[in-house]
Amino acid sequence: MDKIEGSVLRSPADVRGFADFDGPLYYAPTGFIDRADDPQTLPLAGGRRGFSALEIIRRNEGGGAQSMILPLLALEGWVQNSGRVDEINAVLDRLTGNRRAFANQDMESTHVMGIVNVTPDSFSDGGDHNSVEQAIAHGRALAAHGASILDIGGESTRPGAAPVSIDEEIARVVPVIQALSADGHCVSVDTRHGAVMKAAMQAGAHIINDVTALAGDEESLEFVSQSDDAPVILMHMQGEPGTMQDNPQYDCVLLDVYDYLLDRIESCEQAGISRDRICVDPGIGFGKSLSHNLELLSRLALFHGLGCPVLLGASRKSFIGKIDPAATPKQRLGGSLTAALNGWRQGAQILRVHDVEETVQALSVASAIGAV
């Protein structure tokens, strides 16, 4: 069992049950609104959206978890009864604190990261931009449509993907990075290999985006720790791309992914990579079933408790196809936009997408409606 049994508080016993719990608790903001200085809300990660309640989650013995939802107006009394004053203050500091600019991008609002796959075998656009010239043109088009960041990848990490050689990956991404960074665009490199990271940064990349959270190559953590303040995105993946969808299992996917990312952040800090250089990504579709992905999407705001910007990459993913089996990857725009807006609603600072123009428009409309 890995789902969270959530409920609204129904009795004083519900409150006491969580107050008396002596294990670790997890805190997911909920009750989201456009803040407009509403005194009954707190700012989410220093941004323009706010939250009015906390879902407090605890693990169950034997797997799974349960939760209660506590309005902020009732939080002070519960904190006093639980004896977790210092813990809650630290949690609220992380949940509400301003995020430092990430690669010179202001983290008070949501940014769209455009995907540029220089690969023949990516799951939805493999071969579409396989030449250097095509990839550069595509990156420029995405930037013109509103992408704040361009994410360049030379190795497919779709389920069942075969690895490519380091030299081939470098040959694919470096010319594209050189051209797009020379244009003045903010460029990230999507790679799990230290040698590719080094070549990409030398070519002008600003961000390292690693699906293995700097754990897949012993050179990667050392390289990033020795680089000059290079920002890094740490993603959760269970297993390897070739096998990650072979019956993935968790005790509680939400809390397991949270604990993994916290462990990777702490490992980075021990290596000299400060937390304000780190962005986290729960890794939708990377070693997760449909129910795992939906659980992560429904409580994405939990990850703000790590004190880092949050990236959501759900664009065209297979979980959409499992809900709508008739839709090919390129026919999953509706599901992709829904997931993106859900991420925006929960304060995600970066949305990694294929369909930049449509996502930017959806965010603009949602923001305009919320501002009324």
Residues known to be catalytic: 317, 352
CA-only gyration radius of the chain, Å:
20
Rounded Cα gap, residues 352 and 314, in angstroms = 7
Distance CA 248, CA 246 (A): 6
What gap in Å lies between CA 139 and CA 181, rounded to an integer? 10
Residue in 315, 294, 350 with CA at minimum distance from that of residue 122: 315
Burial classification of residue 229, based on how many CB atoms lie within 10 Å of its CB (0-12 exposed, 13-18 middle, 19 or more buried): exposed
